[in-house]
Amino acid sequence: MRATEPQATGRTSGNPPGSTPSLVAESLSKSFLSGNVRERILRDLSVSIMPGELTLISGPSGCGKSTLLAILSGMLRPDAGMVRALGQDLGLLQLQELERFRLMHTGFVFQGFNLFPALTAVEQVVLPLRYVGLSKPRAEEQAWAALEEVGMSGRARQRPSGLSGGEQQRVAIARALAKEPELLFADEPTSALDAGNGMKVIDILHRIAKRHGATVLCVSHDPRLISHADRVLTMEDGRILDDRRTGALVAET
Ligand SMILES: Nc1ncnc2c1ncn2[C@@H]1O[C@H](COP(=O)(O)OP(=O)(O)OP(=O)(O)O)[C@@H](O)[C@H]1O
C-alpha cells in the first residue's frame, strides 16, 4: 500500500522505471525433500526486478518459477541467500512483520482466481481493503475505481457464478490492485483462460505496471505472453538462463 508521503524507494505513481530495483535476490538456494531425496530447486540464483515494468518468468514445468515467486514475495523462506523488497531485507523480519509487509505492500493474482462464491465483485474487492483498515466509504470508493480500471465496474454486482473466467480474473486483479501495492505477483494468471481473455489479462497487468509504477512479476509458461512483457527471464533447472528486454507496447483500453 502506498504511503501518502513519498517513500524511501523515491517512486511516485506513474513514474517510468528508475535505476533502483524494487526487488533484489542474491544467491538464493532452495531445496525440497522428495521422499528420501533432497532436490535442489533454486541454485544460487540472483536477480534484480525493476518497478514500472511487467517482468515475466518463463521456463519449463518444474524448473522453479513458482518457488522463486513465492520466495521473492515473502511467502516462502529460502534455505540460503537474501531477498530485499522495497529496500527491506525480508530475512530480517519476524513472521508477523513479514505478514504485515505482505499485507501492506504486495498483491497476488493466482491461476484459480480464488474468489468467494457468495460475494459480488465489488464485495470481493472491498473485503481486503476493510482488512487493511480503510473505512467503508473509502474502501468502496477504491474498490469501484479498481473495478473501473480493469473494465469490470459494469459487472460489479455479479457473483463469480455469473461471470466468465476472464471476468473473474479481472475481478481478482482489481482485488489485488485496489490497495495499490507496490509489488504485484501473478502465478500463471492466464492459464485457465482462452487466448483472447489471457491477452486481456496480461495487458491489464502491463498497464498497472506503467500507470502505477508498480513492480509486476508474473510466472507463466505461456509463450504467447512473452511479447507482452517488458522483460522476460527464462529459467531452467533452478537458474536464470536468459534475461531479455522485449520493447513491448502497452495496449490501450
Ligand atoms: N512445498 C514443496 N514440497 C516439495 N516439493 C516441492 C514443493 N514446492 C515445489 N516443489 C517441487 O519443486 C519443483 C519446482 O516447483 P515449482 O512449482 O517452483 O516449478 P514451476 O517451474 O513453477 O512449475 P510449473 O510450471 O509446473 O508450475 C517441482 O519439482 C515441485 O514438485
Q: What is the pLDDT of residues 108-146, one digit of tens each?
A: 998 888 999 999 999 999 999 998 899 999 999 999 999
pTM for this predicted structure: 0.89
Considering only CA atoms, which of 165, 219, 234, 209 is closest in space to residue 188? 219
Probe ligand 1: pick from 37, 39, 41, max atoms within 8 Å of CB? 41
**Is the pLDDT confidence value at 220 over 50?**
yes
Closest ligand 1 atom to residue 69 Cα is: 18
Identify whether the C-beta of residue 154 lies closer than 8 Å to the C-beta of residue 171.
no
The finding on whether 62 has its CB within 6 A of some atom of ligand 1 is yes
Query: Mind listing the domains of the chain with CATH numbers?
Result: 49-77+94-245 (3.40.50.300)
Kindly report the protein residue whose alpha carbon is nearest to atom 24 of ligand 1.
61
- How far, in Å, are 31, 109, 157 from residue 63 at the CA level? 12, 20, 40
103, containing H or E segment: helix 95-105
Single-letter code of the amino acid located at 110: F
Residue of the CA atom closest to atom 4 of ligand 1? 32
Q: What per-residue string of b and e applies to 210-236 under the rule 16 or more CB within 10 Å gives b?
A: bebbbbbbbbbbbeebbebbbbbbbbe
Ligand 1 centre from 62 Cα, in Å? 5
Tell me, what's the pLDDT at 47?
Answer: 97
The pLDDT score that the predictor gives to residue 195 is: 87
User: Distance between CA 205 and CA 222 in Å, rounded?
Assistant: 15
| pLDDT computed for residue 152 by the predictor | 95
User: Which of 33, 36, 67, 236 has most ligand 1 atoms within 8 Å of CB, for mutation?
Assistant: 67
Phi first, then psi, for residue 120 (nearest 5°) are: -75, 170
Res 16 pLDDT > 50? no
Q: Quote the pLDDT of residue 18.
A: 53
Alpha helices in 112-243 (DSSP H): 121-131, 136-149, 165-178, 195-212
- Please list, residue by residue across 138-162, b when 16 or more beta carbons sit within 10 angstroms of its beta carbon and e when fewer do: ebbebbbebbebbebbebbebebee
**Atom 17 (ligand 1) nearest CA:** 66
Q: Which atom of ligand 1 is nearest to the CA of 188?
A: 27
Confidence class for position 249, pLDDT limits 50, 70, 90: low
Pocket test of ligand 1: the residue of 30, 57, 63 to mutate, having most ligand atoms within 8 Å of its CB, is 63
Could you identify the atom of ligand 1 that is nearest to the CA of residue 67?
18
Residue 164 has a CB neighbour count (10 Å cut-off) of: 12
The pairing of strands 215-219 and 231-236 is unpaired
ipTM value for the complex: 0.96
Over residues 30-48, mean pLDDT? 94
CA separation (Å) from 115 to 58, 69, 171, 175, 251?
A: 26, 21, 8, 9, 26
Q: Could you tell me the distance, in angstroms and rounded to a whole number, from the CA of residue 60 to the centre of ligand 1? A: 11
Is there an atom of ligand 1 within 6 Å of 60 CB? Answer: no
Cβ–ligand 1 contact at 32 (below 6 Å): yes
Which residues 6+ apart lie within 8 Å of 181 measured at CB? Answer: 1, 105, 106, 107, 214
